[in-house]
Amino acid sequence: MNEEYDVIVLGTGLKECIISGLLSVDGLKVLHMDRNGYYGGESASLNLTQLYEQFRGGAEPPKELGANRDFNVDLVPKFMMANGKLVKALVHTDVTKYLEFKAVDGSYVFKQQKIFKVPSNDAEALKSPLMGLFEKRRARSFFIYVQDYELDEPKTHKGHDLTKMTMAELFKKFGLEEGTIDFIGHALALHRDDSYLAQPALPTVMAIKLYKDSMARFDTGSPYIYPLYGLGELPQAFARLSAVYGGTYMLNTPDAEVVYDEAGVACGVSHGGQTAKCKMVVGDPGYFPEKVKKVSQVVRAICFMDHPIPNTSDSYSAQIILPQKQLNRQSDIYVLSCSFAHNVAGKNTWIASVCTTVETSDPESELGPGLALLGSIKEKFVKVSDVFAPKEDGQTDKCFISCGYDATTHFETTMVDVLDMYTRITGKVLDLTEKDPSQIEGQ
């Protein structure tokens, strides 16, 4: 322990593990510690015993739920966009070889108290009961425009400068109705609120293209994929990458504390009366209570069920987005479900989670509209989490701190944070496109 490292990473959440892996591959000497005896931190997947320890004060899990080891319950449930940044990072680092994925069966959106399959291209738009006859045609032209749009081919822009034009203006060009705009903005572009409408259209158009490309990648019922055995496999896989490149791992260090020099710059981490020296410390907000600020609150309910979510064609896994406008809220409510088909629960058990950004003093009841879609629930575990962000960028105190996990149901914002941290730490930009499969094909 009394050694010197380039970097000490605290917490084995997904973000920390990706950073640890990338830095080890870069040749830095990394020590990676966690207060807990398991990998994953906030983004761990827990077995039944661990789950009941955290939510039920250590009570014995009911026998009828099944074997402890069959459960891998995500604390922060999310799906991966099949063509998104996390998949690119997995391919880039070759970490894919430790993991197996399965597609998520369905992607749905909530409108007027019902749920509908999300149409993602021109052909699906024509068939979707979400829109009336004339609206379908308008939506079809919009989808064709987005599909054809290429940033570096001006002729596909059709005279619209998406870096200047707002998204609201682009929608207006195609004459789209409010209900259509609602599902495109929230269920395809995956915006959490409506602030995007007043901003330049380009990021939203690219987000819709990402959804469509992700759909096409594996040709399944949704743009999402999910690892067998739960999201907790992701930090473990990146931790292994780090270890394979020389990273040292120490779990179960509850007393780990950052040590600062007289100028307040991080210079090591102490544990068990010893101090490991380092040039910088990377970690999740939990290790730097003085250096982070609360930016929002997220409420999540994890529900065990013995049936799929009703009206999802008996999907073993699905996502439902409830856009804020449909609920008179500021932020969307997200529902995700997974099951034994992804090896996260015992036979014939589904795990659904409902989550949103907290807006009132009664967070649990805010989940009501989402919970109402689930049908009968056997067990429910509710947690309200504060989301923290670092106050500074780490350049002066050499503490590079990740942001907490927001309410989004995908990893795009997670990866934006990771890539930003990587740049702050190394001064380099990580180019994930290098091994992008579509590039390799030379398309």
Partner 1 sequence: MAGNPSAPMQAKLVLLGDMGTGKSSLVLRFVKGQFFEYQESTIGAAFLTQTVSVNDTTVKFEIWDTAGQERYHSLAPMYYRGAAAAIVVYDITSTDSFNRAKSWVRELQRQGNPALVMALAGNKSDKSDERKIPAEEASAYADENGLFFMETSAKTAANVNELFYEIARKLPKAAPTPAPAGGIVLNNQQNAQKKKSTCC
The residue ranges that bind partner 1 (CB under 8 A) are 38-39, 87, 90-91, 94, 96-103, 216-219, 225, 228-229, 232-233, 236-237, 239-241, 243-252, 341, 343, 435, 437-438, 440-441, 443
Nearer to partner 1, 241 or 367 (CB): 241
Q: Is 341 helix (H, G, I), strand (E, B) or coil?
A: helix
Neighbouring C-beta atoms of residue 73, cutoff 10 Å: 25
The backbone torsions φ and ψ at residue 250, rounded to the nearest 5 degrees and listed phi first, read -135, 110
Tell me how far, at minimum, the Cβ of 269 lies from partner 1, in Å.
14
Measure CA of the first residue to CA of the last residue in the chain; give whole Å: 49
Beta bridge partners of 302: 353, 381
Nearer to partner 1, 225 or 320 (CB): 225
Tell me how far, at minimum, the Cβ of 155 lies from partner 1, in Å.
15
> Nearest 5°: CA angle at 247, between 245 and 252?
145
Tell me how far, at minimum, the Cβ of 306 lies from partner 1, in Å.
20
Nearer to partner 1, 93 or 324 (CB): 93
Tell me how far, at minimum, the Cβ of 90 lies from partner 1, in Å.
6
Tell me how far, at minimum, the Cβ of 281 lies from partner 1, in Å.
18
- What token pair was written down for 51? 């789950």
Tell me how far, at minimum, the Cβ of 196 lies from partner 1, in Å.
27
Query: Cα(283)–Cα(289) distance, rounded to whole angstroms?
Result: 11
Residue given tokens 């690119």 in the structure block: 88
Half-sphere exposure at residue 323, Cβ-oriented, CA atoms within 13 angstroms = 27
Would you give the distance in Å from CA 134 to the centre of its chain?
Answer: 36
Q: Which residues of 347-375 are buried (b: 16+ CB within 10 A; e: fewer)?
A: eebbbbbbbbbbeeeebeebbebbbebbb
Tell me how far, at minimum, the Cβ of 272 lies from partner 1, in Å.
11
Nearer to partner 1, 91 or 168 (CB): 91
Nearer to partner 1, 91 or 259 (CB): 91
Tell me how far, at minimum, the Cβ of 110 lies from partner 1, in Å.
26
Tell me how far, at minimum, the Cβ of 233 lies from partner 1, in Å.
6
Q: Say which amino acid occupies 289.
A: P
Nearer to partner 1, 8 or 403 (CB): 8
Nearer to partner 1, 178 or 441 (CB): 441
Nearer to partner 1, 30 or 267 (CB): 30
Q: Which residues of 290-328 are buried (b: 16+ CB within 10 A; e: fewer)?
A: ebbeeebbbbbbbbbbeebbebbeebbbbbbbbbbbbbe
Nearer to partner 1, 229 or 260 (CB): 229
Neighbouring C-beta atoms of residue 276, cutoff 10 Å: 20
Nearer to partner 1, 86 or 425 (CB): 86
Tell me how far, at minimum, the Cβ of 341 lies from partner 1, in Å.
7
Tell me how far, at minimum, the Cβ of 379 lies from partner 1, in Å.
22
CB 122 within 8 A of CB 199: no
User: 133-148 and 202-218 are packed helices; what angle lies between their axes, rounded to 10 degrees?
Assistant: 90
Nearer to partner 1, 395 or 433 (CB): 433
